[in-house]
Amino acid sequence: MKSKKDSEVPARPPSGFSRRGFIGVGIGSGALGAGLLERPAAAEPAGAAVVGPQAVPVTLNINGKPVNLTLEPRVTLLDALRNYIGLTGAKKACDRGVCGSCTVMLSGKTVYACAVLAIDAQGKEIQTIEGLAAPGELHPVSAAFWNHDAQQCGYCTPGFVMAATGFLKENPSPTEADVRHGLGGNFCRCGTYMGIRKAVLEAAETMKKGRPSNG
Amino acid sequence: MANTPDYSWPPMETRQVMGQNVKRLDGPQKSAGRAKYSSDFTRKDLLFAAYQTSPYAHARVTSVDTTPAERMPGVKAVHVVSPAGTEVQWEGTEIAAVAAVTEEIAQEAAHNIKVEYEVLPHLVREDDLTKAGSRAKAAGEKVVGDPDQAFQQAEVVSDGHYGIPVVTHCCLESHGQVTEWRGDHVNVWPSTQDVTRYAGTLAPNLKVPTANIDVEMNYVGGGFGSKFAPDAWGEVCARLSQKAGGAPVKLFLDRTTEQLIAGNRPSAFAKIKLGGKKDGTITAWQSESWSTGGIAGGGSPPLPYIIADIPNQRQHHSAVSVNCGPARAWRAPNNQQASYLTCCAIEDFAAKATLDPLEVFRTNINLYAPQARRATYTWQLDKAAELAEWKKLWKPRGQAQSGSVKRGLGIGFNAWAGMGHNSQCRATIHSDGSVQIEIGTQDLGTGTRTVIAQVAAETFGLPVSAVGLTIGSNQLPPDSASGGSTTVGGVSASTRKATVNALAKLYEVAAPALGVDPSQLEARGGKIQVKGGGKSLTWAEACRKIGGGAISETGANDSRNPGGLIAAGASGIQIADVSVDVETGVVKVNRYVAVQDCGLIVNPRLAESQVYGAIIMGISTALYEQRVMDEQTGRMLNPNMEFYKLAGIADIGDIVVHMDIRPENDKRGITGLGEPPAIAICAAIGNAVANAIGVRVPRIPMTPEHVLDALDGRAV
C-alpha cells in the first residue's frame, strides 16, 4: 500500500534501531542452520504493507487467547511477551537469535522470539512455556527436566523446554545422538547438558506412553 | 542453656535426609518457566533504562549533549555518568543513561545522546609481552633454593610456553536490577550473588541509610563470580528512578555491554622450564609469566600450582594494564590459569623424559602443597586412571593411531579451600507443626534452597516437604556473598545450629508428656520419641504443646570458628580423552573423567550437577571461548553470543563424574564445590591434545587455527 503515511512520516535514519532490516538480512541468513527461525516470515513478499514507526494495533493469539495491544512495529515478539503482556517465561539473553533462551512456538514450530517481530506473529498460534501446562502442573518435558536436574540457574531452562517440546513433536522417538543434534540451537552457561540429554529421552518415553494421540 | 548443644552431624550411616538425592526444590518453578528473576520484574509503572557507552578504548569525553534524548516523548529521566572531562579507559564505559516508558524508546534515546571524544592511544592486547612496553609492571623476581645449580644438575630439562586468554562470564541473565527510589526509601530487585550486603554497599553512594534499602531476589540467572557488588549501574538505576519521580526503573545491560564491562577472567601466559631426574622427580622450576585483568593489571596465577614444594624455583611475573573492561572473580580465581600452566609444564616434562605423565604426577606427590591432601590425590589419580581406562588407552606422546584422527589423554588437577561463610539462620516451629527456615542467602542454581531444607529436615526428623523456606531478602537473618565455594558450608552450619536450638526447645515442652528429661528425646521419622524407642509423640502432637506462640531460635556460622561442621580443602583429578583431526584441526572431547571430593555431601545429585556444570563450562573455555581484541580500533570483535562461542549440547562428549564420598572425607564436614571442579579442564584438554598430536598447542582455546598452527610450527 502506497499510503499517505509514507510521505508524512520521515524515514527512520539508518542509524536508528530498525530490527526489520537486521532480522531479514543478518539473522535470517546466519542462524537458519539452527532451524529455529520462522521461515514464512523471512520469506515474506516485498510488497507487504508498510506500517509505523508509530504504534499500531496488534492482535496476538497467545496460548489460545487473543491479546490486543498497541505496539511500535519494531517491537520483537520477545519484548511484546515480556514487556507488554507480562509473560516472562521466555528469557532475553543474547537478543540476537543465537542462544535460544527466548524459544517459543509459532504455528507449531519453534522460533527465537527475539528474532521475530510481534507484528509478523499476528494471525499465528503463539505458544509460550506458560501455555504448556496449567499453574501448579508440569508438562512431561518440564517434569523430565526436574527429574534429571537439567537446570541450575534455570535461565536457559524455559527455552530449552520449549525447544525440546518442539523437537519431540518432530522426533517422537529420538536417540541420544538425535537429541545432541536437535537441541544445538540453545545454550546453557551453567552446563546442564548432561541432564538435558537424559531429560529429553525420558520425556519422549513419557509422552509416547501418556499421550498416544500425539505420537 | 547449661551445656552447648551437640550440633555435630549425625553419623553418615544414620542420616535420613542428608545424603539423599532430593530433587531440586525450585525445579518445578524453573522448568515450568514460572520462576521470577529480577529481570522478569513487571509492573504497570515500570520504566526501562538503557545506556550509551563509549566506542573507544581510551578517550577523553569532550561533550555530552542529552537534549536529543530529553526531547523524545516517553523519556522520563536522563542521567550523565561520564561528563565532559572524564577519561574513558575501556570500550563500553557508561557515558549516559536514559529511562523511558518503553525499552524501545529508552534504547533509541540513549543512542541519540550526542557524545564527543578526544581519542587517546590505547593498548588492548597483552598476548605478546614485548609489545606491552611500559604497560607491563614486573612483580619482581622470586627465588627458592638454587635454581641455577638445580638446572645444571638436572638429568632432564623441558621447556614450553603456554597461554590462556581472557574469557567473559557471559551470564545468560545480564547484570542489572530494578530499583524504586521513593522519598527516603529504596527497593531493589537485583541480579546478585550477595543479597545480604547489597544494600550496605549501595547505601553510601545514594546517601541513604542501609536500613532504608530493601533488597529482594528470588532467582539469579548466573553469576560465576561476576555479580557480587551493586556496581555502577546499581547507583545509576536508583538515580534514574529518583529523577523519574520514584517509578521503578529496570536497567539490565544489553548483551554487548555485558560482554564488554560486566566481567571477565584474567589471562595468563608463561614460559616455563622444568628440570628433574630421569625417574620423573621434579627438582627445578623457572617461569616468566604475565597476565592482564584490565586497566589495573592484575591476574596473578599461583605458580607452581599444587606442586608448590619444588625445592628450587625462579619466577618472574608481570601484570599488563590494558584498555579493556575490568576482570572479576571467576569460579576459582587464578586457579584455572595456574592449573593450565603447571599441568602443561608437567606433561611436557614427562614427554621429554619419555615417562607416563600419570607416573610423573604420582612420583611428585610429596611436592603437593596441600600436604594433608597428598593421600587423597594418590587415591584420586588411581581412581581417575581406572575410570578413564588410562592403562589401555594411553600411548606415549605422538604415538597415537595412524590416520588423520588422533586420540590422546591428558591430566589436570585442582585444589580449593572452600569452608563456609558467615551465616545466620532463624528456625521457627509453629504450634500447628509447620516449620519455617529463614536465611538472607541466595540460590545461584547450586541448589542452596534444597540443601538448607535437607539439613533442617534431618534435624527435625521430617521429610523435606514439611520444611518451609524463605531466602533472597535482606530483611532475613544475614548471610554472606555466594563466592569461593562457601555457601553450602555457611548455610548448612547455620541451619544445623538454628534447628538444633529450636528442637531443644521443643524437647522441653514435649518432655513432661513423655515423662522423661528433655535430654532423653530424639526426633526421628516424624516423631519426638524417647531415645532407643519407647514412648513417643507425633511431630504434630509435640508441637501442640508449644501452646499459643511459636518456638523461634537462631543459629550462626562463624567462619573463624566453624566448630567441626565444615572444613577447608577439596581436591580433584580430571582426565580428558580427546580426538584431534590433524587435517582440520578440530578437537573433540570423547570422554571426560572427574574424581572430586568435597567433604560431607548433602545431596549427591546436586553435587554431581555442580561438577558436570564446571566441566562443561571448562570444555567451553578450553575449546571455544576467547575475548578477541582488535589493536587497531581498540574494540572487542566478539561482544555478543554469535562470535563469542559457547559449547553446545553436542560439543561436550561424555562426562563421567565420580564423587569421592569415602567416610574419611565425610567426617571432615562440609566443603563447597562451586570452584574446585572448574579448575583443571583447560589443563586436562590441553595435555590430551598434545598427547594426541605429538606437539604442544600452547594457546587456549584449542581452536582449529591454534591446532593447525602448532602442527605447522607456526605457534607463537
Residue A181 belongs to domain with CATH number:
1.10.150.120
Closest-CA residue of B relative to A176 is B650
Give the C-alpha distances (Å, rounded to integers) separating B195 from A153, B442, B471: 16, 7, 9
Q: Are residues A125 and A54 in the same domain?
A: yes
Predicted pLDDT at A49: 75
The partner residue sitting opposite A152, judged by closest CB among B108, B445, B646, is: B445
B111-132 pLDDT per residue, tens: 999 999 999 999 999 999 999 9
Which of B72, B649, B657 should one mutate to test binding to chain A, selecting the residue with the greatest count of A CBs within 10 A?
Answer: B649
Asked if the model's pLDDT at residue B27 lies above 60, the reply is yes
Q: Of the given ranges (A43-52, B406-415, B601-610), which has the lowest mean pLDDT?
A: A43-52
B196: left (phi over 0), alpha (psi -120 to 50) or beta: alpha
User: Look-up: residue for cell 520425556?
Assistant: A203
- Do A167 and A120 sit in the same domain of this protein? no
Q: Flag whether A10 is in a domain.
A: no
Q: Which of A200-209, B223-232, B399-408 has the lowest mean pLDDT?
A: B399-408
Q: What is the pLDDT averaged over residues A31-52?
A: 51
Domain residues for the domain of A57 are: 16-131
Is A5 a domain residue? Answer: no
Q: Which of B231, B252, B273 is the last residue of a domain?
A: B252
B485 and B451 fall within a common domain:
yes
pLDDT of residue B657: 98
- Closest Cα of chain B to A182: distance in Å? 9
How many domains would you assign to chain B? 3
Whether cis (ω within 30° of 0) applies to the bond prior to B701 is yes
Tell me, yes or no, whether B406 and B432 share the same domain. Answer: no
**CATH value at residue B336:** 3.30.365.10
- In this structure, are A151 and A184 located in the same domain? yes
The reported pLDDT for the residue numbered A113 is 98
Best of B29, B30, B605 to disrupt the A interface by mutation (most A CBs within 10 Å)? Answer: B30
Task: Note whether B557 contacts A: Cβ–Cβ < 8 A.
Answer: no
Nearest CA to B528 out of B456, B468, B459, B602 is that of: B459
> Within this chain, do residues B610 and B496 fall inside the same structural domain, yes or no?
no
Give the rounded distance of the alpha carbon of A138 from its chain centre: 20
3-class secondary structure, B294: coil
Quote the DSSP letter at residue A114.
Answer: G
Q: Residue B650's closest CA among A120, A196, A87, A36?
A: A196
Asked if A152 and B648 come within 8 Å (Cβ–Cβ), the reply is: no
CATH of residue A34's domain is 3.10.20.30
A136 vs B365: CA distance, rounded Å = 53
Complex confidence, ipTM: 0.97
On whether both B542 and B592 belong to a single domain, the answer is no
Residues 6+ positions from A88 with CB-CB distance below 8 Å: A81, A82, B33, B36, B37, B40, B42
Q: Cβ of B114 under 8 Å from any chain A Cβ? A: no
Give me A53's grid cell.
514507526
Question: Quick check: is A34 in a domain?
Answer: yes
d(CA B246, CA B179) in angstroms, rounded, equals 9
Q: What is the pLDDT of residue B338?
A: 98
The pLDDT value given to residue B400: 76
Asked if B30's CB is within 8 angstroms of A154's CB, the reply is: yes
Using the CB atoms, write b or e for B482-510: b if 16+ within 10 Å.
bbbbbbbbbbbbbbbbbbbbbbbbbbebb
A22, A94, A178, A192, best to mutate vs chain B, most B CBs in 10 Å? A94
Binned at pLDDT 50, 70 and 90, residue A20 comes out as: very low
Same domain, A118 and A80: yes
Residue A192 has its nearest CB partner, among B40, B605, B613, at B613
CB contact under 8 A, B28 and A190: no
Q: Tell me whether residues B172 and A99 touch, CB distance under 8 A.
A: yes
Nearest CA in chain B to A131: B32
Indicate the residue among A101, A131, A161 that finishes a domain. Answer: A131
What pLDDT score was predicted for residue B306?
97
Inform me whether the C-beta atom of residue B228 falls under 8 Å from chain A C-beta atoms.
no
Q: CA of B238: how far to CAs of A157, B100, B248, B663, in Å?
A: 30, 14, 9, 51
Q: According to the model, what pLDDT value does residue B534 have?
A: 85
Q: What is the mean pLDDT of chain B?
A: 96
Q: Cβ separation of A149 and B605 shorter than 8 Å?
A: yes
Q: Is there a single domain that holds both residue A118 and residue A199?
A: no
Q: Do B27 and A146 touch (CB under 8 A)?
A: yes
Residue A52's pLDDT is 83
B416 SS3 class: strand
| Mean pLDDT computed over A135-143 | 97
Domain co-membership, B505 together with B374: no
Considering the domain architecture, whether residues B511 and B620 belong to the same structural domain is answered as: no
Compute the distance between CA of residue B32 and CA of residue A140 in angstroms, rounded to an integer. 10
Please name the residue ranges forming H helices in B444-486.
Answer: 448-460
Contacts of B655 in chain A (CB under 8 A): 194
Q: Assess if residue A4 is contained within a domain.
A: no
Domain membership flag for residue A97: yes
Residue scoring higher pLDDT (A75 or A211): A75
Would you call A193 and B649 a contact, using CB atoms and an 8 Å cutoff? Answer: yes
Cβ distance B24 to A184 less than 8 Å, yes or no, reads no
CB-count exposure of residue B426 (10 Å: 0-12, 13-18, 19+)? buried
Strands B75-80 and B629-630: what pairing?
A: unpaired
The values of phi and psi at residue B397, to 5°, are -50, 130
Q: Do A142 and B40 touch (CB under 8 A)?
A: no
Whether residue A101 sits in one domain with residue A77: yes
**A151 HSE (CA, 13 A, CB side):** 34
pLDDT beyond 70 at A39: no
Helical segments of B353-486, H only? 357-363, 374-387, 390-393, 448-460
**pLDDT score for A42:** 43
Are B553 and B501 within one domain?
Answer: yes
d(CA B443, CA B192) in angstroms, rounded, equals: 10
Q: How confident is the model at residue B716 (pLDDT cuts 50, 70, 90)?
A: low
Q: Nearest Cβ partner of A191 from B29, B223, B614?
A: B614
For the stretch B381-438, pLDDT in tens is 999 999 999 999 999 998 978 899 999 999 999 999 999 999 999 999 999 999 999 9
Q: Of A78, A97, A131, which residue is a domain's last? A: A131
B605 to chain A, any CB pair closer than 8 A? The answer is yes
Q: Which of residues 48-77 of B touch A (CB under 8 A)?
A: 48
- Entry pTM: 0.94
Residues B593, B628 within the same domain: yes
The number of beta carbons lying within 10 Å of the beta carbon of residue A20 is: 16
Cross-chain Cβ contact B445/A196 below 8 Å: no
Establish if A9 belongs to a structural domain.
no
A189 lies in a domain?
yes
- Across the interface, of A17, A72, A153, the residue whose CB is closest to B111 is A17
Residue B380 domain-assigned (yes or no): yes
| Residue B680 covered by a domain | yes
**Please, which pLDDT band fits residue B3 given cuts at 50, 70 and 90?**
low
pLDDT at B562: 83
| Backbone φ and ψ of B13, nearest 5° | -80, -15
As a whole number of angstroms, the distance between CA B407 and CA B400 comes to 6
In angstroms, the separation between the Cα of residue B34 and the nearest Cα of chain A is: 6
To the nearest whole Å, the CA of A200 is away from the closest chain B CA by 12
* A114 & A144 share domain: no
**B253: nearest CA partner in chain A:** A93
User: Is A215's pLDDT higher than 80?
Assistant: no
DSSP string, B333-368: TTHHHHHHHHHHHHHHHHHHTT--HHHHHHHTGGG-
Whether B497 and B566 have beta carbons less than 8 Å apart is answered as no
Q: List the one residue out of B492, B503, B482 whose CA is nearest residue B425.
A: B492
Cβ proximity of B494 and B425 under 8 Å = yes
B325 DSSP assignment: P
Beta carbons within 8 Å of B490's beta carbon, 6+ residues apart: B420, B421, B422, B423, B441, B479, B480, B557, B559, B566
Of the residues B525, B557, B589, the one at which a domain ends: B557
**Confidence band of A38 (pLDDT split at 50, 70, 90):** very low
Query: A154 vs A210, which has greater pLDDT?
Result: A154
For residues B346 and B275, what is the distance between their CA atoms, to the nearest angstrom?
10
In a domain, B405, yes or no: yes
Grid coordinates in use for B281?
A: 622427580
Does B463 share its domain with B348? no
Are both B473 and B412 inside the same structural domain? no
Measured CA to CA, the distance from residue B276 to residue B352 in angstroms comes to 11
Strand, coil or helix: what is B223?
Answer: coil
* Arithmetic mean of pLDDT, A120-135: 97
Least confident of A53-57, A199-203, B186-190, B577-581: A53-57
What residues of B are in contact with residue A143 (Cβ under 8 Å)? 31
Tell me the chain B residues in contact with residue A158 when contact means C-beta distances shorter than 8 Å.
30-33
Residue A111 belongs to some domain of the structure: yes
> Which residues of chain B neighbour A90 with C-beta distances below 8 Å?
33
Q: How close does chain A come to B260, measured CA to CA in Å? A: 14
Instruction: Determine, yes or no, domain membership for B596.
Output: yes
Domain membership of residue B585 (yes or no) is yes
Decide if B486 is inside a domain.
yes
Q: How far apart are CA B425 and CA B413, in angstroms?
A: 35
DSSP letter for B231, please.
H
Q: What is the CATH number of the domain that holds B181?
A: 3.90.1170.50
* CB atoms near residue B465 (< 10 Å): 10
Residue contact B222–A194, C-beta within 8 A: no
Out of A82, A94, A192, the one facing B255 most closely (by C-beta) is A94
- Give the list of residues 6+ apart from residue B448 with CB closer than 8 angstroms, or none: B441, B442, B471, B482, B487, B488, B491
**A94 vs B219: CB contact, 8 Å cut-off?**
no
Domain termination site, one of A104, A131, A158: A131
Contact by Cβ (8 Å): B96, B64: yes
Q: Note the helical H segments in A11-156.
A: 19-21, 28-30, 39-42, 77-79, 140-147
Q: Cα separations (Å) of B673 from B305, B378, B557?
A: 19, 20, 18
H-helix segments, B515-591:
539-544
**Which residues in chain B touch residue A190, judged by CB atoms under 8 angstroms apart?**
222, 445, 613, 617
- Tell me the chain A residues in contact with residue B222 when contact means C-beta distances shorter than 8 Å: 153, 155, 189-190
Nearest to B104 among A75, A94, A101 (CB): A75
Specify if B363 maps to a domain. yes
In this structure, the answer to whether residues A171 and A118 fall within a common structural domain is: no
Instruction: Calculate the alpha carbon distances from B129 to B58, B159, B289, B303 in Å.
Output: 20, 18, 9, 18
Q: Give yes or no for residue A116 having a pLDDT over 80.
A: yes
Do the domain assignments include residue B159? no
DSSP code of residue A53: S
The shortest CB-CB distance from B42 to any of A86, A189, A195 is to: A86
Helix, strand, coil tally for chain A in percent (to 5): 45, 15, 45
Count of other CB atoms within 10 angstroms of residue B6: 7
CA quadruple A110, A114, A117, A121: dihedral, nearest 10: 30
3-state secondary structure of A16: coil
Q: How many domains does chain A have?
A: 2
| DSSP per position, B175-195 | SEEEEEEETTEEEEEE--S-H
Task: Using CA coordinates, name the residue in chain A closest to B617.
Answer: A191
Say what angle helices B681-693 and B604-623 make with each other, to 10 degrees: 50
Q: Which residues of A touch B225 (CB under 8 A)?
A: none
Output the CA angle A102-A106-A112, nearest 5 degrees.
Answer: 25
Does residue B441 share a domain with residue B586? no
Q: Is there a contact between B220 and A151 if contact means CB atoms under 8 Å apart?
A: no
Q: Which residue of B has its CA nearest to A87?
A: B40
Chains A–B, number of C-beta pairs less than 8 Å apart: 196
Alpha-carbon torsion angle B707, B709, B710, B714, nearest 10: -170
Q: pLDDT at position A14, please?
A: 39
Report which of B50, B337, B330 is spatially closest to residue B171, judged by C-alpha positions: B330
Considering B212, B228, B252, which residue would you say is the last residue of a domain? B252
Query: Residues B249, B251, B252, CA angle at the centre, nearest 5°?
Result: 145
Q: Which of A16, A132, A151 sits opposite B30 (nearest CB)?
A: A151
Quick one: A30 and A124 in the same domain? yes
B35 at A interface, C-beta within 8 A: yes
Q: B465 and B370 share a domain?
A: no
Host domain of residue B339: 331-418+567-711
Burial (Cβ within 10 Å: 0-12, 13-18, ≥19) of residue B587: buried
**How many angstroms separate the Cα of B37 from the Cα of each of B53, B478, B565, B621?**
25, 21, 32, 26
